[in-house]
């Protein structure tokens, strides 16, 4: 099913727009040139995860090295800092067990379209 979320310019200006689709809150995030959509509920304690920040995180590196990576591909929950991969929705801490649902987003004639 397709849902028109708004224009590209509107979403770029807002950064994130949360829409209700059949009783589910889905956040559509504008990050650089890309759009992502995630279920707006953290699996940890139910926080509105889309109110969190998008950034990067520390990535695997040699002992005593701290390497920042995954820039603009990690959504961090505003309540307890749980991190989720924007591409897959999987938790960075427990990817095999925890995640948020992600949805496809496309752009057609300047309109952002959410696919559920």
pLDDT of residue 58: 86
User: How many domains, in total, are found in the chain?
Assistant: 1
Q: How far apart are CA 43 and CA 41, in angstroms?
A: 6
- Full residue range of the structural domain in which residue 57 is found: 2-115
Which stretches in the chain have pLDDT values below 50?
Answer: none
For residue 82, the domain's CATH number is 2.102.10.10
User: Are 5 and 13 a contacting pair, CB within 8 Å?
Assistant: no
pLDDT at 115: 98
Contact 85, 50 (CB under 8 A): no
Q: What is the CA radius of gyration of the chain?
A: 15
pLDDT of 60 = 83
Q: What is the pTM assigned to this prediction? A: 0.91
């Amino acid at each position: 099913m397709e849902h028109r979320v708004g224009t590209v310019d509107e979403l770029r200006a807002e950064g994130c727009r949360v829409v209700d689709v059949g009783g589910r809150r889905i956040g559509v995030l504008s990050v650089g040139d890309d759009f992502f959509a995630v279920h707006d509920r953290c699996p940890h304690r139910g926080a509105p995860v889309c109110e969190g920040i998008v950034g990067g995180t520390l990535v695997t590196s040699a002992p005593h090295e701290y390497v920042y990576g995954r820039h603009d591909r990690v959504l961090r929950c505003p309540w307890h800092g749980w991190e989720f991969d924007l591409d897959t929705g999987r938790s960075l801490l427990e990817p095999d067990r925890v995640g948020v649902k992600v949805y496809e987003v496309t752009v057609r004639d300047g309109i952002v379209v959410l696919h559920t």
